[in-house]
């Protein structure tokens, strides 16, 4: 059990953030301010409550509705109750501590008259847990903690695995590293990490999964570019490109630069990395500089090649396109509640236009790797199949690693889709 000294302020701050997300603001924007918190312990408690509440958003909403005697409370109090319910169910604090600190948080929110209401709702949950569980079980959004439309897409696409996929989406994500083999070895890094109190095991060609997540500042050699944080599913892309020294390679949606860095760690190629956002391009450059690598980084929209392409075709194109991010939702738990079913259709239209544009810059006999961090067929198989059907000569070829195109999230990696398309000579 954790000490309670910081819980009331954490509940207060978390409820404000969760309330803004519930009103439609992205947690990524809120995270910037959160990362500036002065003390690591306060930041850790706050981050746990915010992310935990957002992962259980459907559940905490249903519980609040079931227990509230006054119907919908004002947004500030609803968000406080959601956060307090998560704290109760997390097992990190004693029940009486959460109730007491949530009541104290009412004063911090300047909702003094609501103390009795918040106390009654939380004590009601402690008394009526069995009946509450029956209510939750009858509500798919509360039970699976995903929107109903999202659940239905996964149920139809993966009739045998959809429950496991939803459970993975509610779990804490693994922390995976990619070793820069130009600067260190995997076995050597495992030993150095262990000496620093960081326990890791090998996954894939250059990956390590940590037993417990740690701040990057604790990773030996991080500042020196020996290691990067990158999910094992994302590390798959560079190897599927079948790179060779001297090739011209385009990373068409490069930010934040993880895949660009991996490509350059593997092979000496002429890499061009583009992204439509200038700030994101600066981040690509910073990440490559940390790794001791270099590429031509351009602020450009890949669907307008006339504005950035010099006319010399690329041997390989990596199209890691914008998508719903349904495969990485455990890292961004607000997304499943901010997204709408219509967004999948909109993303698919954008993805189709990107494929059409990037095909123009691909050399004859070249290969384009289409990548999403989505689990929705409407952004994956459907987009690729439609592109191949309408594009003369385009041919989808088997992935070199022999694994399926669609990786579903599990304890070791997020959900990713990869498809390799070849252009005729």
- Written in H, E and C, the secondary structure of the chain is CCCCCCHHHHHHHHHHHHHHHHCCCCHHHHHHHHCCCCCHHHHHHHHHHHHHHHHCHHHHHHHHHHHCCCCCCCHHHHHHHHHHHHHHHHCCCCHHHHHHHHHHHHHHCCCHHHHHHHHHHHHHHHHCHHHHHHHHHCCHHHHHCCCHHHHHHHHHHCCCCHHHHHHHHHCCCCCEEEECCCCCCHHHHHHHHHHCCCCEEEECCCEEEECCCCCHHHCCCCCCCCEEECCCCCCHHHHHCCCCCCCEEEECCCCCCHHHHHHHHHCCCEEEEEECCHHHHHHHHHHHHHHCCCCEEEECCCCCHHHCCCCCCEEEEEEECCCCCHHHCCCCCCHHHHCCHHHHHHHHHHHHHHHHHHHHHEEEEEEEEEEECCCCHHHCHHHHHHHHHHCCCCEEECCCCCCCCEECCCCCCCCEEEEEEECCC
Residue positions annotated with a catalytic role: 373
């Amino acid at each position: 059990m954790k000490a309670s000294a910081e819980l009331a302020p954490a509940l207060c701050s978390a409820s404000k953030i969760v309330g803004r997300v519930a009103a439609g603001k992205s947690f990524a924007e809120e995270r910037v301010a959160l990362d500036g918190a002065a003390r690591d312990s306060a930041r850790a408690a706050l981050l746990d409550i915010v992310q935990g509440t957002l992962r259980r958003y459907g559940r905490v909403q249903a519980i609040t509705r079931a227990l509230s005697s006054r119907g919908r409370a004002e947004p500030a109090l609803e968000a406080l109750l959601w956060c307090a319910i998560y704290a109760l169910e997390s097992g990190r604090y004693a029940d009486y501590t959460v109730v007491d600190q949530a009541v104290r948080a009412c004063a911090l929110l300047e909702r003094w008259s609501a103390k009795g209401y918040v106390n009654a709702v939380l004590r009601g949950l402690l008394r009526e847990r069995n009946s509450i569980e029956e209510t939750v079980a009858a509500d798919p959004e509360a039970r699976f903690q995903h929107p109903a439309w999202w659940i239905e897409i996964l149920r139809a696409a993966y009739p045998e695995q959809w429950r496991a996929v939803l459970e993975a989406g509610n779990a804490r994500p693994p922390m995976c590293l990619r070793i820069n083999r130009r600067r260190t070895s995997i076995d050597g890094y495992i030993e150095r990490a262990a000496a620093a109190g960081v326990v890791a095991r090998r996954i894939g060609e250059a990956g390590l999964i940590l037993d417990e997540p740690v701040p990057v500042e604790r990773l030996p050699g991080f500042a020196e570019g020996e290691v990067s944080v990158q999910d094992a599913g994302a590390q798959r892309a560079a190897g599927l490109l079948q790179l060779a020294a001297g090739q011209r390679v385009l990373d068409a949606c490069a930010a934040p630069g993880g895949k660009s860095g991996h490509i350059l760690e593997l092979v000496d190629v002429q890499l061009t990395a583009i992204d439509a956002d200038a700030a994101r391009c600066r981040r690509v450059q910073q990440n490559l500089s940390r790794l001791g690598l270099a590429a031509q980084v351009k602020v450009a929209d890949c669907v307008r090649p006339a504005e950035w392409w010099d006319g010399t075709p690329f041997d390989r194109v990596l199209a890691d396109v914008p998508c719903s991010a349904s495969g990485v939702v455990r890292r961004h738990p607000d997304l499943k509640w901010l997204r709408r079913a219509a967004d999948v259709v909109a993303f698919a239209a954008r993805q189709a236009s990107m494929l059409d544009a990037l095909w123009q810059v691909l050399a004859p006999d070249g290969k384009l790797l289409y990548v999403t961090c989505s689990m929705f067929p409407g952004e994956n198989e459907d987009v690729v199949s439609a592109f191949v059907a309408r594009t003369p000569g385009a041919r989808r070829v088997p992935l070199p690693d022999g694994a399926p195109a669609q990786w579903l999230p599990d304890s070791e990696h997020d959900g990713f889709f990869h498809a390799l398309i070849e252009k005729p000579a």
